Amino acid sequence: MGKWLILPCFGGKVASSSLPSCSSTADEGRSIVRYSYKTLKSAAQGFHERYKIGEGGFGSVYKGKLENGAVVAIKVLSAKSMQGEREFLAEIESMTNARHENLLRLRGYCVQGVNRILVYEYMEKNSLAQTLLSGRRSNDINFTWAARRKVILGIARGLAYLHDEVKPHIIHRDIKPSNILLDSDLSPKISDFGLAKLFPDNVTHISTRVAGTVGYLAPEYARCGKLTIKSDVYSFGVLLLEIVSGGSSKNYALGLEEYRIVEKAWELYKDDQLLQLIDPSISEKSIGKEIDQFLKVALLCVQGVPNLRPSMSTVVEMLATTMDTRDLQISQPGVIHDLHTLKVGGTPAAAAAAKCVCSEDSSRESRSSTLSTTKSSWESSK
């Protein structure tokens, strides 16, 4: 993160490259604002339980109203969590220069004494985890195929922007339903960049501690801590399958070994019954071909060999364009077994016991051939 400095206005040690300048300005434009603790406490009515809209391992999120009338989400990190401090710095560093319609906008922050607070734009429809995938559908949200298609494409475009357009590139590391928020028009916003990693152009991968959420971790990352942009692509593929099916990626009813949706999709694909994965609540009958296309793109994203997964920019093209999927070469997905041995948040060595079943294409020639065929099929259908 660069050199460490003691900056009086932050009341402690922070990374000089991680935070905006120590200005006390309250400019409400596109810049990131430094708020006082008093201002944010007042906005959230003293952080009263009634205004709490979310809670996680690193703190709580409250709905608040600023003095200018703007409604915001106020994320208060736990003062006891050193990992929360690390996440706080990562989140500001990641979002300072990132601007995209499908990324949740970071409005500001507070660093005062032991208090670490992030201020975001407020999303009326909450997250995918609390709506479409909650198991208890909200009556005021109709997740038609058109709505789901909009959500899927928005997430894909946001990730493509992070991977290709932002400099340095950003890997999110925790793409999952609870980190996809929805505005009043059901436009998706990728949120929670606390685990994000910055990737310069000349870096192909990073060996790092395993962090993220079981069920969405790419096998090669979960097994040995090797992080690439294809780790996000895998997570997106799992999420796409969830959005189409309306079901969770994990089913713990039978224990941690049960890892369902990727395996189920693969078995249906092999039996030429992929459309059976569609959520029964999708009433449109004329869009089976398009949904089939989306599901096959999802399977491309979760392939066991990372190099065979398409980039997110290619994914956006494949989802936004009608294509002939009959000749697509899709190899076996990567699936993590023995999930109870996986230590998320530990070192790569701690995760090494997790067994990974990857593609049967083990040789370099076979991998190259499959990738070439997939690209050729896609390009010829454009």
Which listed CATH number (1.10.760.10, 3.40.50.300, 1.10.287.3610, 1.10.510.10) goes with 128-381?
A: 1.10.510.10
Tokens standing for residue 195: 């685990």
Q: Flag whether 52 is marked binding.
A: no
- Can you tell me whether residue 371 is helix, strand or coil? helix
Active-site annotation holds for 174:
yes
Other C-beta atoms closer than 10 Å to the C-beta of 47 total 16
CA 245 to chain centroid? 18
Q: How high does pLDDT run on average in the chain? A: 78
- pLDDT at residue 321, as a whole number: 92
**CB–CB of 19/92 below 8 Å?**
yes
What are 18-30's pLDDT values in tens digits? 455 434 344 445 5
- pLDDT at residue 168, as a whole number: 86
Separation between Cα atoms, residue 380 and residue 16, nearest integer Å: 49
- pLDDT at residue 360, as a whole number: 37
What are 149-178's pLDDT values in tens digits? 999 999 999 999 999 998 888 999 999 999
From the candidates 140, 164, 174, 338, which is the catalytic residue? Answer: 174
pTM for this structure? 0.80
Ranges of CATH 3.30.200.20 domains, the chain: 4-121
- pLDDT at residue 268, as a whole number: 95
pLDDT tens, N- to C-terminus, the chain (382 residues): 333 222 223 333 444 344 554 343 444 455 789 999 999 999 999 999 999 988 866 789 999 999 999 999 999 987 665 556 677 777 787 777 788 999 998 999 998 988 899 999 999 888 998 888 876 666 578 899 999 999 999 999 999 999 999 888 899 999 999 999 999 999 999 998 888 888 877 666 776 777 788 889 999 988 878 899 999 999 999 999 999 999 865 544 434 333 579 999 999 999 999 999 999 888 776 789 999 999 999 999 999 999 999 999 999 999 999 888 888 899 999 987 765 555 555 544 344 434 444 433 333 434 433 444 455 455 555 5
- pLDDT at residue 258, as a whole number: 39
Separation between Cα atoms, residue 193 and residue 89, nearest integer Å: 10
Separation between Cα atoms, residue 283 and residue 165, nearest integer Å: 37
Look up the CATH superfamily of 4-121. Answer: Phosphorylase Kinase; domain 1 (3.30.200.20)
Ranges of CATH 1.10.510.10 domains, the chain: 128-381
CA 56 → CA 42, 82, 165, 178, 367, distances in Å?
22, 14, 30, 10, 40
Q: Exposure pattern of 219-229 as b/e (b: 16+ CB <10 Å)?
A: bbbbbbbbbbb
Tokens standing for residue 286: 């004329």
